[in-house]
């Protein structure tokens, strides 16, 4: 397998693992709020389609799943490519992963979400949901991606 195919395989595998951990945390947290996985994925799909997502049934759920994992894989690819140029990302995966999680959180909430068609709630986000969102991106995306990219780099060396 060539290095490009190996890199793509690594990014896909790591992105799917991180995306699964992230959505798992989201589903578990929201279960306590009586929000179903279907509603979560429809909410994700609404970023692209607006309110249609809440009336489209399984099609919008599938779209939400595809969008969620595409985003997780994209963030994985960014870290993976950066780690090829910045050795500190491999040498210090915990600190760099947590900082990357903060970066992902800020970018998603300050840049991406305002540009989507997600219906913004009229009530303010609760402290618990904000903390859950931050921790999910720090641990499930940032730290997971950093540790798995490091493991992948060590195996390749």
CA angle at residue 19 from 17 to 22, to 5 degrees? Answer: 110
How would DSSP label each residue in 109-134?
IIIIHHHS-PPPPSSPPPHHHHHHHH
Residue 52: per-residue pLDDT = 94
pLDDT of residue 1: 59
Say if CB 141 and CB 75 are below 8 A apart: yes
Domain boundaries, the chain: 3-156
Provide the pLDDT confidence category of residue 121 given band limits of 50, 70 and 90: low
Mean pLDDT, residues 151-156: 93
Residues of the chain above pLDDT 70, percent: 97
> What is the distance between the alpha carbons of residues 43 and 152, in angstroms, rounded to a whole number?
33
User: Rounded CA gap, 60 and 39, in Å?
Assistant: 10
Helical residues (DSSP H) of the chain, grouped into ranges: 3-31, 37-49, 58-85, 88-91, 93-107, 113-115, 127-135, 144-156
| Mean of the per-residue pLDDT values of the chain | 94
Cα–Cα dist 111/71, whole Å: 14
What pLDDT score does 124 carry?
Answer: 54
Residue 123 has pLDDT above 70, yes or no: no
Q: What is the pLDDT of residue 93?
A: 98
């Amino acid at each position: 397998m060539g290095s490009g195919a190996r890199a793509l395989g690594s990014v896909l595998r790591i992105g799917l693992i991180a995306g699964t951990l992230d959505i798992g945390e989201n589903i578990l947290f929201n279960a306590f709020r009586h929000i179903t996985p279907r509603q979560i994925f429809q909410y994700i799909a609404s970023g692209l389609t607006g309110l249609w997502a809440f009336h489209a049934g399984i099609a919008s759920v599938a779209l939400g799943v595809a969008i969620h994992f595409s985003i997780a894989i994209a963030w994985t690819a960014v870290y993976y490519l950066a780690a090829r140029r910045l050795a500190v990302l491999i040498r210090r995966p915990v600190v760099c992963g947590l900082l990357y999680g903060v970066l992902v959180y800020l970018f998603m909430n300050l840049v991406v979400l305002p540009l989507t068609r997600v219906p913004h709630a009229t009530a303010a986000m609760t402290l618990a949901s904000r903390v859950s969102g931050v921790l999910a991106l720090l641990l499930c995306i940032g730290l997971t991606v950093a540790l798995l990219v490091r493991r992948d780099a060590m195996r390749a060396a």
